[in-house]
Homo-oligomer: A and B are copies of this chain.
Amino acid sequence: MITLTIIGFGNISQHLVREFSNSKTVKLVQVFTRNENATFNPQNFNFVHQFSNLIKTDVTIIAVSDNAIAEVSDAIPFENTLVLHTSGGIALSGLNPKNRRGVLYPLQTFSKNKSISFNGIPICVEAENESDLAIIKKIANSISKKVFDIDTTQRKSLHVAAVFVCNFVNHLYKIGSDICNEHQVPFTILQPLITETANKTLQLSPHDAQTGPAKRKDFEVISSHLKFLKNSDNKHIYEMLTQSIIQNG
């Protein structure tokens, strides 16, 4: 078994703790968190609250916010173990070189109140050498069927693209929901449309899947929609995305 430390007990970290608690490949030894009241059920590992109390393990996964990764990797009290971060936006070189460095980036949106099966989540892996890459792949394959070799620049491009297809998309859902609420229409009426739009990407390229007034250059409908929108922010978003569809297809 590969012995494992997880540092951080936030959103992604708790999902990882759940996965590795049941692993036959990895023995989760300890979880580091500043929060002295942290609990987890079932708990078959130790909570550690000070870096000096960490026991040396084969692998450490740093699952903290991007801007804390460098500091945490400096604070790890071991050398020459394998230390991974889980961030899409941070380079491999963002980790302290006193340990062997790698990345295990699960590309998914994690919410605390929605459970998710790791099995279908793409995990992007990177390491400094082949033997470390093999260890990371072994760990990644133990929780997901979709493991990809992705270098730092590619991972960054995925992270940026993910903001467009997840965070920005979700914000458009929010605007749609606000417009429904304003007119006493249940947002659930839009759910089949949301699902079908997402499912289309499995069969058609987004370019081929496009429909609607901007794609048809139907300026009459576009201008009636702009008149209908009262919120100036939403009006601006409507104008800009319409322009972008007209210009880029």
Q: Answer yes or no: A150 CB below 8 A from chain B CBs.
A: yes
Residue of B nearest to A159 (CB): B225
**Per-residue B-contact encoding for A215-249, CB less than 8 Å = 1, 0 else:** 11010110011001100011011101100110111
Q: Answer yes or no: A121 CB below 8 A from chain B CBs.
A: yes
In angstroms, Cα B171 to Cα A66, docked, is 28
Oligomeric state, in copies: 2
Contacts of A249 in B (CB 8 A): 174
In angstroms, Cα B164 to Cα A175, docked, is 7
The reply to whether A113 and B204 form a contact with Cβ atoms under 8 Å apart is: yes
Residues 135-159 (chain A) with a chain B CB within 8 angstroms = 146, 148, 150, 153-154, 156-159
The reply to whether A172 and B164 form a contact with Cβ atoms under 8 Å apart is: yes
Contacts of A208 in B (CB 8 A): 111, 113
Contacts of A195 in B (CB 8 A): 198-199
The reply to whether A215 and B167 form a contact with Cβ atoms under 8 Å apart is: yes
Q: Which of B108, B113, B194 contacts A165 (CB 8 A)?
A: B194
Q: Among the listed stretches A20-28, A48-56, A75-83, A176-184, which one makes contact with chain B, having 4 or more residues with CB under 8 Å of it?
A: A176-184
The reply to whether B183 and A109 form a contact with Cβ atoms under 8 Å apart is: no
Q: Which of B108, B146, B154, B171 contacts A206 (CB 8 A)?
A: B171
Contacts of A153 in B (CB 8 A): 183
In angstroms, Cα B192 to Cα A108, docked, is 7
Q: Answer yes or no: A169 CB below 8 A from chain B CBs.
A: yes
26 A–B contacts from the bound complex (CB under 8 Å):
A66-B220, A67-B218, A108-B196, A109-B212, A111-B209, A114-B204, A122-B189, A153-B183, A161-B177, A162-B212, A164-B176, A164-B179, A165-B172, A165-B194, A169-B173, A169-B197, A169-B198, A171-B244, A172-B172, A173-B206, A177-B206, A191-B201, A194-B201, A233-B244, A237-B240, A237-B244
Which 7 pairs, one residue from A and one from B, show the smallest C-beta to C-beta distance? Answer: A167-B212, A198-B198, A174-B206, A157-B183, A161-B176, A173-B206, A165-B176
